[in-house]
Chain A
């Protein structure tokens, strides 16, 4: 079945450091890919999405490119801030697969120190 694998956390960075959170997926066909962020005590917020190969999603300085050849959707940000501290979830949704449900990775906790 379809699945998403994220890098294990927690990830601890200093402010202004470069961030990469790895995400790879297993799915048939061409799923849609998403990154969601969850701040402490809150619900999930959509960060960015991509719906076809080579699409680049971007928002608030975060970027991720849909790489069909490597089945990856890594999240990057050039300069993180303390306010970026949160849990980041990579997710996919596939036509017909898993009844089209959102399938989440386990989440990666990011802590940014001043």
Chain B
């Protein structure tokens, strides 16, 4: 089973709201990732967690706050977002954070900021 699940599937939020995206995998993977994908563009890496520790933050604004409570779960907390943050947010996982190892993606959360 190579399934990564994400909730919610769709989210509409105002610029003053606080919301969270959730990602879960039960494949025993120890690396998890958040990507942002704008329409007709490839995904862009936001954060990497390796063994539940944040290892890469690609200069993402502080209104995005990741959290990895355990090895199966990854959250992305959202606060005071801007309309330009509207995008598809993809979670991915891999056995470990290493270049030979493939990443498996979830279905994404489509976020609209109004």
Interface residues on A, range: 20 to 34
- Who on chain A is nearest to B89 by CB? A43
CA A14 – CA B96 in complex, angstroms?
A: 40
Inter-chain CA distance A106–B38, complex, in Å, is 12
- The distance from the CB of A66 to the nearest CB of chain B, in whole angstroms, is 13
Cβ contact within 8 Å between B45 and A43: no
Tell me which of A43, A94, A106 contacts B99 (CB under 8 A). A94
Contacts of A99 in B (CB 8 A): 56
Interface check A77, CB cutoff 8 A: no
Interface residue? A73 (CB, 8 A)? no
> Which one of B2, B40, B103, B106 lies within 8 Å of A102 (CB-CB)?
B103
Contact with A along B57-96 (1 / 0, CB 8 A): 0100000000000000000000000000000101010000
Chain B residues engaging chain A, CB cutoff 8 angstroms: 2, 4, 6, 40-43, 45, 48, 56, 58, 88, 90, 92, 97-108
What are the nearest 8 A-B pairs in CB distance?
A104-B42, A44-B105, A93-B99, A43-B107, A43-B105, A43-B108, A95-B99, A100-B99
- 26 A-B pairs, CB-CB below 8 angstroms? A32-B100, A32-B101, A42-B107, A43-B4, A43-B108, A44-B90, A44-B105, A46-B2, A46-B102, A46-B103, A46-B104, A89-B42, A93-B100, A95-B99, A100-B97, A100-B98, A100-B99, A101-B45, A101-B48, A101-B56, A101-B58, A102-B43, A105-B42, A107-B40, A107-B41, A107-B42
